[in-house]
Chains A and B, each alone.
Chain A
Amino acid sequence: MPVIQTNGLSKHYAAKGGRVHALDQLTLSVNQGEIFGYLGPNGAGKTTTIRMLLDLIRPTEGSASIFGMDVRANSVTLRRRIGYLPGELNLWDNETAADIVRYFARVRGGVDMVFVRQLAERLEFDMNRKMRTYSTGNKRKIGIILALMHKPELLILDEPTSGLDPLMQQVFIQLMQEARQNGQTVFLSSHMLSEVQAVCDRVGIIRSGKLQTVDSVTALTKVNFRWVSLTMKEAVPADLFEKVPGIEEVSVSGNSASMRLSGDIQPLLTAVGNRYLVDLRTQDPTLEEVFLTYYGDLPAVNGHSRRA
């Protein structure tokens, strides 16, 4: 049984000029013990999905269940088992983080305060200051502590590392790996591909409220193209790779050339013929490049001008 299951989940808003489809017919499963990355640009529908899972907003159509229970009918029961970090963390400015942690712990009941202190230490977070004095990164840290403190079976995290420095991003990745080892399930929305690639088992890509694809990170990065760079002993003829099937976006510079190769490598080797090859390297696309194939034009990366 999946931990999260949505069926045709939709959220439409009335707006000037017609209805806005914030989320359209989302059908998605997240399995026990996996870290699921929910990827999309701002406004794609990630937060709308999460807020419906938590019963903060109600679907226009469709349904969602967590641990086999309908999210509307069993919202209080489910929230005992869920840790949530909102995308934009707002708390009471005049309260200290410690006061807020104590308040949330009292409402939840049974929170291990030793574990809370350990989390604060790992995140290098001082809980004795008022909320208004914290930077964006520190506010993120208190959000992570509030989400993790009761060791929930399911973590729903909206842009968890937004505002964290690289060192703390690494600590967060460790925490997620520990969560996986403990059998916790994580639903993590992000537009930071490096974060998703570092921790997620599967990824769902959403665009304009519609789910584009769901697959494992490994499978997504094994799409049918790769980047090839080669170095020859002599200068590479500028037209050497013209009309070679599967080769695009060729860039030649002296003895070196780089290109995007779709399909098998044999046509490339045939084109090289008996020229002396000093070096040949291939590189799978990053998740970022895969992600961008779902979003139209690709920006120039590493000197390549790319198109989806």
Chain B
Amino acid sequence: MVGSVLVEMLRRHWRQALFWGLGIGALTFLQIIVLPDVDALQQLAELMETVPPAFAQMFGLNDTQYLATPEGYVATRTFGLLLLLVSIYAIVAGLNVTANDEERGVMDNVLALPISRWQLVLEKLLAYALMSIFVVVVICLLTILAVTLTPALGIDMGKIVLGSVNVLPGMLVVLAFTALVGTVVRSKGLATALAVLFLVGSYFIDTLGRDAANSFVAGLRAISFHSYYDGTNVLRFGFNAGNFTLLLIVALILAILSLAAYQRRDIGV
């Protein structure tokens, strides 16, 4: 029956998604709750000016004066690294699309059911995309709670929502990429390694490329999905609909490729 796999995945894994959301959300919550006062932020900004630019760049600290504001602090500390954190969930979820079941030898049973391979992959991808949204919603709610509990900081809740929504396309890219490598290669270990390489490689190409604007790494930034996610500046300058849409399209293409890839090969045992 259409939708059975999707519903089953949601039934089985919503708690896992909730715990991921609560875990990462607790981190963002604490970052805001223990936010230093404005004077301390100013001192921190002055301190950061003494740090080597490459080092500061690596942590998304482009503008130390912006860092001295509560919003800047949240933008860099919370949203600067949020994509990296939620992407770990996306890798775990992406491996659940086919790689885990194939590694465990469960796939023979599943594909003996009257369901096509593409439908199985599609329904699982949709289920994990929905759970990725759920993870971000939980994080967003905890972040809003922290902002509500610290009204003196004067952080705009709308920007918190915007920053949270902005993380989703990148997360879906990682989910779809992991699903794709899981459908192409038979080994879960190899699929995991490739997904982690994709995530970490993209992150470093982007951060190093920003810092070394004249090097060849800067030229590679176009292929780093992190360069289309600007977690820090989305709070400062607003939403970049073009980048947002581009990442969604990339995620969609990767998802379609994973549907096609799984049609072709032998199922492992």
Contacts and interface: CB of A to CB of B under 8 A. Distances in A.
A223 interface: no
Contacts of A84: 108-109, 112
A9 interface: no
A89 B12 CA distance: 20
A278 interface: no
Given A58-B266, A107-B5, A88 B114 contact: no
A108 interface: yes
A77 B114 contact: yes
A191 B163 CA distance: 61
A141 to B, nearest CB: 14
Contacts of A103: 4, 8
Contacts of A251: none
A86 B110 CA distance: 11
**B7, B108, B115: residue with the most chain A Cβ atoms closer than 10 Å:** B108
Interface in A279-301: none
Contact of B1 (A56, A79, A91, A109): A109
Given A90-B106, A106-B4, A56 B113 contact: no
Nearest to B267: A56
Interface in A66-105: 75-77, 79-80, 82, 84, 86, 88-92, 95, 103-104
A247 interface: no
Nearest to B106: A90
B30 interface: no
B269 interface: yes
Contacts of B7: 106
A107 B1 contact: yes
Nearest to B3: A106
A269 interface: no
B262 to A, nearest CB: 12
Contact of B108 (A51, A75, A95, A106): A51
In the complex, which range does the number of interface residues on chain B fall in?
20 to 34
B23 interface: no
B105 interface: yes
B111 interface: yes
Contacts of A88: 105, 269
A54 interface: yes
B236 interface: no
B93 to A, nearest CB: 16
Contacts of A80: 114
Nearest to A75: B116
A146 interface: yes
B267 A57 contact: yes
Contact of B113 (A58, A79, A90, A95): A79
A243 B104 CA distance: 60
Given A57-B266, A57-B267, A103-B8, A108 B106 contact: no
B4 to A, nearest CB: 4
Nearest to A83: B112
B266 A86 contact: no
**B107, B112, B116: residue with the most chain A Cβ atoms closer than 10 Å:** B112
Interface string B135-164: 000000000000000000000000000000
Interface string B1-42: 100110110001000000000000000000000000000000
A174 to B, nearest CB: 24
Interface in A27-73: 51, 54-58
Given A95-B12, A103-B4, A90 B109 contact: yes
B115 A56 contact: no
B111 A146 contact: no
Nearest to A89: B109
A107 B266 contact: no
Contacts of B266: 56-58
Interface string B94-106: 0000000000111
Nearest to B103: A90
Given A56-B266, A58-B266, A107 B109 contact: no
Contact of A79 (B8, B107, B112): B112
Contacts of B5: 107
B41 to A, nearest CB: 46
B116 A76 contact: yes
A95 to B, nearest CB: 7
A76 to B, nearest CB: 5
B113 A107 contact: yes
Contacts of B112: 54, 56, 79, 82, 84, 86
Contact of B111 (A56, A77, A90, A108): A56
Closest 9 CB pairs of A and B: A90-B105, A84-B112, A57-B266, A80-B114, A106-B4, A79-B114, A56-B267, A107-B4, A107-B113
Given A92-B106, A107-B1, 8 more contacts: A56-B107, A57-B266, A79-B112, A88-B269, A90-B104, A106-B8, A107-B113, A108-B114
18 contacts: A51-B108, A51-B269, A54-B108, A56-B107, A58-B266, A75-B116, A82-B112, A86-B105, A86-B112, A89-B109, A90-B106, A90-B109, A91-B106, A103-B4, A104-B113, A106-B4, A107-B4, A108-B114
Interface of B: 1, 4-5, 7-8, 12, 104-109, 111-116, 266-267, 269
